[in-house]
Amino acid sequence: MRSDDAPKQLNAEDRLGRTHRELSNNVARHFAKEWHDYDEQIRISIPFYDQALSTLVSIVEAGGIRPARILDLGVGTGNLAHLLLRTWPEAHLTGIDLVPDFIEIALKRLSAHAERTVLANTDVADFDFAGKYDLVVSSFMFHHLSDELKRTTYRRVLSCLRSGGTFINADYVDSASPLYSRIFYDLRIAFIRQQGGSEADYIEHHKLEVPSPMEVQMSWLREIGFVDLECFWKYLNLAIFGGRTA
């Protein structure tokens, strides 16, 4: 075998990119094919969805922050972005999402704030975290990232926050306990049934979920350099957590 025929060795960044690209492509295809009514389906899948978003905004507001620049990772159809822009009428928001159809819906939902909004159809792994933001938020996106990409993205978030800036993540998390991981999963299935959703559809969706225990993720944030870390709200395997820059 000639040396140039030898298998190429991928470096860590290439391996991360290849692994994530496969997952993100599957996630994008799944949402595009199966989630034609995201706003209804998310409420069938996630208990207290609206309460979680309003709680996230209330936490920021109670902290006395008046963000001038906001970054929304996984903006979806713009539900959280709408609350943020309505709460802070002088703020400018950048939002990204993997699914083109969601961006189109978000643009319509946020049309009254068009001059203060920039939305882009891009993968979080490809987004350039340039510039400085006062607030970075995410809602139910990180659990579709591998652990390695979660940590990489958390580092990028820290790098783009101003001093004293805030990061808050509302997400589906796992339990560190195998017992309660199973119990929480079963209760989520029960909730979906009660809402008239399809258990079979969720089982397929669950194959694309990569949740990590909240305590583990908070330890990553602490190691990276975030301070004032806190879990602000939790219901079973749904949580809102985050911190600030020093």
Q: For residue 166, what is the DSSP state?
A: E
List, in order, residues 6 or more apart from 186 with CB less than 8 Å away.
Answer: none
Whole-prediction pTM: 0.90
Q: Is 175 helix (H, G, I), strand (E, B) or coil?
A: coil
Neighbours of 202 (CB within 10 A): 19
Q: 17-72 pLDDT, tens per residue?
A: 566 778 888 888 888 888 889 999 999 999 999 999 999 999 999 998 899 999 99
Residue 139, phi then psi, degrees to nearest 5: -135, 110
pLDDT in tens, 156-171: 999 999 999 999 999 9
Reply yes or no on whether the pLDDT at 7 is more than 60: no
Question: What distance in Å separates the CA atoms of residue 106 and residue 79, rounded to the nearest whole number?
Answer: 8
* Residue 155 banded pLDDT, cuts 50, 70, 90: very high
- Class assignment of domain 12-244? alpha beta
Question: By three-state DSSP, how is residue 95 classified?
Answer: strand
CA distance 42 to 38: 6
pLDDT of the residue at 83: 98
> What residue segments make up the domains of the chain, in order of their start?
12-244
